[in-house]
Amino acid sequence: MAAGLSLQCGDCGTLLKSVEEAEEHAELTSHSNFSESTEAVLNLVCTTCGKPCRSKTETDLHTKRTGHSDFSDKTLETAKPISLETPKSTDSDDVVVGGESSENQEMVVPEVDKKLLEDLEEMGFPTARATRALYFSGNASVEASISWIAEHENDPEIDQLPLIPVNTKIEAPKPTLTPEEVKIKAQELRERARKKKEEEEKISEREKEKERIRIGKELLEAKRIEEDNERKRFFLAYHRIMAMRKAEKEEEKRARERIRQKLEEDKADRRRKLGLAPEDPTVAKPAAPAVEEKKSSLPVRPATKTEGMKNWLRYLKQNHKDDDAKVKRAFQTLFTYVGNVARSPDEEKFRKIRLNNPSFQERVGSLKGGVEFLEVCGFEKIEGGEFLFLPRDKVDMAVINSAGSELNSAIINPFFGVL
């Protein structure tokens, strides 16, 4: 019978070189079905960098990472019968055998030349990458380390600190680049690292900007939904009030009808008690005498001041309906002017407004309807139209109070000027 060259996992088919590997595989996967196999574990060695691969999958991954595609098959050279006995530990300290550490071998970070390490770090290389390069280049020089980095920059573990068994030594490979090439390569690596960092920062900034835009849209949508809900609540309340008024009018009409019927019944009962014949409903009742309408000697005014104030406020809002904040600020400013006059009618400073004042122009004067509203309240243009002035003897508190009520309604009612 042919000697077994490997152990094969009966659950997943993986080939393993030793009992130790089988035990590790069992711990990681919980597979427990192993058998001897005459098929040797592959030993495909990269002819460019010397990295061994145990399967076609590993060689494909290595080619993808490094671009190395030439491999030497040394499977038959290293194949030997597998030992099914677990090696016994000795009383002496663990030692390195055949270049590989035993199971309990202590692993440490190798010592490297601190001066060379500082030089590489100043050039922009990470500490882990610089340490690994110095160790595997035998601490020979900065140029040798950069040469090693250039050859292994695509290794997946390039930025991991190397761990080696105690007392392990590795011969320094000979630099494959000239000093001039090393300088050029170092500059290329630094430039590549700088561009990579800039690209990462740009990507991060774009993501932050997208997040800010998303949050802004969510806030605007939440505000729109809240405004829609507020309008719906107002319309529901309005319809409920109108329905209640309609029901009250119908109930009032039914009550008047009941009273009329009761009066008719009482009248018929009195005629019956007096022995009079019932009233003939077909006989037409005499019409009520016409009342001559009195004509007032006072002139008829087309609209009250309150209606005029309300019309100008509606005009102001409808002509600036795309800027609710500006309209609301104008209403609040007008409310302040009217309130000051109501509280202190004797103070002239509250009854005089400079029309070309920048603050007044920005808040009220530039909006058609604001100055006209004040004129309805009693303010007059004086001094060639430079000021608006409300004379003390023309302060009508009823008009001022009515103006305050109209402005308050315009401020708190979101549908003012719409319905």
Q: What is the pLDDT of residues 124-134, one digit of tens each?
A: 788 888 888 88
> Are residue 408 and residue 314 in the same domain, yes or no?
yes
Looking at the domain assignment, is residue 331 inside a domain? yes
> Are residue 319 and residue 370 in the same domain, yes or no?
yes
Tell me the backbone φ, ψ of residue 354, rounded to 5 degrees. -80, 120
Looking at the domain assignment, is residue 186 inside a domain? no
Average pLDDT over residues 282-303: 50
| Sign of the dihedral through C-alpha 133, 138, 141, 143 | negative
**pLDDT value at residue 210:** 92
Q: Which helix (H) or strand (E) holds 65?
A: helix 56-66
3-state helix, strand, coil in the chain (%, to 5): 55, 10, 40
Looking at the domain assignment, is residue 30 inside a domain? yes
> Are residue 113 and residue 164 in the same domain, yes or no?
yes
d(CA 416, CA 419): 7
d(CA 235, CA 76): 90
> Are residue 136 and residue 204 in the same domain, yes or no?
no
Q: What is the pLDDT of residues 320-342, one digit of tens each?
A: 888 888 888 999 999 999 999 99
Residue 206 is which amino acid?
R
**pLDDT value at residue 214:** 92
> Are residue 270 and residue 318 in the same domain, yes or no?
no
Looking at the domain assignment, is residue 183 inside a domain? no
pLDDT at 255 over 50: yes
Q: Confidence class of residue 289 from pLDDT cuts 50, 70 and 90?
A: low
Q: Confidence class of residue 254 from pLDDT cuts 50, 70 and 90?
A: very high
Q: What is the pLDDT of residues 29-81, one digit of tens each?
A: 777 777 877 777 777 888 888 788 877 777 888 888 788 888 888 777 666 77
**Straight-line distance from the first to the last Cα atom of the chain, in angstroms, rounded to the nearest whole number:** 102
153-162, 199-208, 212-221: which has the minimum mean pLDDT? 153-162
DSSP H stretches of helix in 288-384? 305-318, 324-343, 358-360, 370-376
Contact 316, 370 (CB under 8 A): yes
Containing domain of residue 264, as a range?
A: 198-274
pLDDT at 3 over 60: no
> Are residue 16 and residue 63 in the same domain, yes or no?
yes
Q: Can you read off the two tokens belonging to residue 267?
A: 């009248």
55-64, 97-106, 241-250: which has the minimum mean pLDDT? 97-106
What is the chain's mean pLDDT, rounded? Answer: 79
Predicted model pTM: 0.31
CA distances in angstroms from 27 to 24, 58, 102, listed in the order given:
5, 22, 18
> Are residue 311 and residue 263 in the same domain, yes or no?
no
CA distances in angstroms from 255 to 149, 246, 249, 250, 273, listed in the order given:
103, 14, 10, 9, 27
| Residue partners of 48: CB distance under 8 A and separation at least 6 | 66, 68, 70
> Are residue 210 and residue 151 in the same domain, yes or no?
no
Looking at the domain assignment, is residue 80 inside a domain? yes
Looking at the domain assignment, is residue 98 inside a domain? no
pLDDT at 112 over 60: yes
114-128, 251-265, 337-351: which has the minimum mean pLDDT? 114-128
pLDDT at 305 over 80: yes
> Are residue 316 and residue 387 in the same domain, yes or no?
yes
Q: What is the pLDDT of residues 363-411, one digit of tens each?
A: 998 888 889 999 999 999 998 888 999 998 888 898 899 898 888 888 8
Tell me the backbone φ, ψ of residue 42, rounded to 5 degrees. -60, 145
Residue ranges of E strands in 217-266:
none
Looking at the domain assignment, is residue 234 inside a domain? yes
Q: Which of 7-16, 83-92, 103-112, 357-366 has the highest mean pLDDT?
A: 357-366
Q: Which residue's entry shows tokens 């002819």?
A: 47
Which among 85, 116, 146 is the end of a domain?
85
DSSP H stretches of helix in 72-138? 75-78, 114-122, 127-136
Looking at the domain assignment, is residue 29 inside a domain? yes
> What letter would DSSP give residue 392?
G
**pLDDT value at residue 184:** 79
> Are residue 26 and residue 80 in the same domain, yes or no?
yes
Higher-confidence residue of 312 and 41: namely 312
Higher-confidence residue of 19 and 236: namely 236
> Are residue 41 and residue 124 in the same domain, yes or no?
no
> Are residue 311 and residue 395 in the same domain, yes or no?
yes
CATH for 325? 1.20.58.2190
d(CA 404, CA 94): 96
To the nearest 10°, the Cα dihedral for 344, 350, 351, 353? -170
Number of domains composing the chain: 4
Which among 85, 117, 148 is the end of a domain?
85
